[in-house]
Amino acid sequence: MAQALAAALQLDRLSPLREAVRTLTRLADHQASESLFLSKGKEILTQLIAQDHWLEEDFRKTHPDYYQQYLLYCDPHERFSLQSFVWGPGQSTPIHDHTVWGLVGVLQGAESCVRYRQTAEGLVSDGPAFVLEKGSVDAVSPSVGDIHKVSNWFSDRTSISIHIYGANVGNLRRHTFDAATGAKKDFVSGYSHNRLPNLWDRAAFIRAQDLKTLPARS
Ligand SMILES: [Fe+2]
């Protein structure tokens, strides 16, 4: 049975991502509040990053100079989206905001994060840097704290995190901030890749079930 389950995972590799998309779609269809998205989304993301066989090689590739932001799925109404962020050794973001709710879950390696807030005196750090280890999830949003800088905690290996946002985040007008002056600059991040995982091809799994070599799945 264990062998059959392993074979099923291999033949329907994207099922964890597909299930996450289905659950998020149900939440969006029920017009879930931001707080419900953040609490349920944390459960969904924790489950998704508990295994990592489902993330294909194309969405784990580093760039020598920049972190990569690969779109994995975007809701047709752009109510939410999922990405893999891939950090080469020592790579980091600028200080930036999101303007929508978001969740960051570490799939591989570890990331360090510093939160910031805007005050009358300018931009100030909101607590010390902290480490997000593999399996942990952090939240951002204009209501819970939206400005941060994220770095690969490792200087000698790749780290990967899976993100869920309450919009098509690559198309949002957002801001970066100068650490010294707090000056704001507009940016639209876009994505690092034009291909998305094909969530909907389950034919190999279905053929194997027809041959009775795999257990049935609901
Ligand atoms: Fe961020």
Confidence at residue 214, expressed as pLDDT on a 0 to 100 scale: 64
Q: From the CA of 95, how far away is ligand 1's center (Å)? A: 8
Q: From the CA of 139, how far away is ligand 1's center (Å)? A: 9
Confidence at residue 10, expressed as pLDDT on a 0 to 100 scale: 78
**Of 95, 96, 91, 93, which Cα lies nearest the Cα of 65?**
91
Q: From the CA of 149, how far away is ligand 1's center (Å)? A: 7
Hey, which residues does 100 pair with through a beta bridge?
none
CB 136, CB 106: distance < 8 Å:
yes
Q: From the CA of 115, how far away is ligand 1's center (Å)? A: 10
Provide the whole-model pTM.
0.92
Confidence at residue 30, expressed as pLDDT on a 0 to 100 scale: 97
Write out the DSSP string of 105-127: EEEESEEEEEEEEEETTEEEE-S
Q: From the CA of 96, how far away is ligand 1's center (Å)? A: 6
Q: From the CA of 146, how far away is ligand 1's center (Å)? A: 8
The total number of residues shown for the chain amounts to 218
Q: From the CA of 14, how far away is ligand 1's center (Å)? A: 25
Handedness of CA 52, 56, 62, 66 (dihedral sign): negative
List the chain pLDDT tens, one digit each, 218 residues.
Answer: 667 666 767 789 999 999 999 999 999 999 999 999 999 999 999 999 999 999 999 999 999 999 999 999 999 999 999 999 999 999 999 999 999 999 999 999 999 999 999 888 889 999 999 999 999 999 999 999 999 999 999 999 999 999 999 999 999 999 999 988 889 999 999 999 999 999 999 898 888 877 776 666 65
Beta strands in 51-101 (DSSP E): 68-74, 81-87, 95-96
Query: What is d(CA 203, CA 118) in angstroms, rounded to the nearest whole number?
Result: 51
Q: From the CA of 141, how far away is ligand 1's center (Å)? A: 10
- b/e for 32-49, b at 16 or more Cβ within 10 A? bebeebbeebbebbeebb
Q: From the CA of 65, how far away is ligand 1's center (Å)? A: 18
Query: What is d(CA 104, CA 150) in angstroms, rounded to the nearest whole number?
Result: 10
Q: From the CA of 150, how far away is ligand 1's center (Å)? A: 7
CB 150, CB 93: distance < 8 Å:
yes
Q: From the CA of 98, how far away is ligand 1's center (Å)? A: 6
Q: From the CA of 133, how far away is ligand 1's center (Å)? A: 16
Query: What is d(CA 137, CA 37) in angstroms, rounded to the nearest whole number?
Result: 13
Q: Which residue has the tokens 């400005």?
A: 147
Q: From the CA of 113, how far away is ligand 1's center (Å)? A: 9
Confidence at residue 121, expressed as pLDDT on a 0 to 100 scale: 84
**Of 17, 12, 139, 133, which Cα lies nearest the Cα of 73?**
17
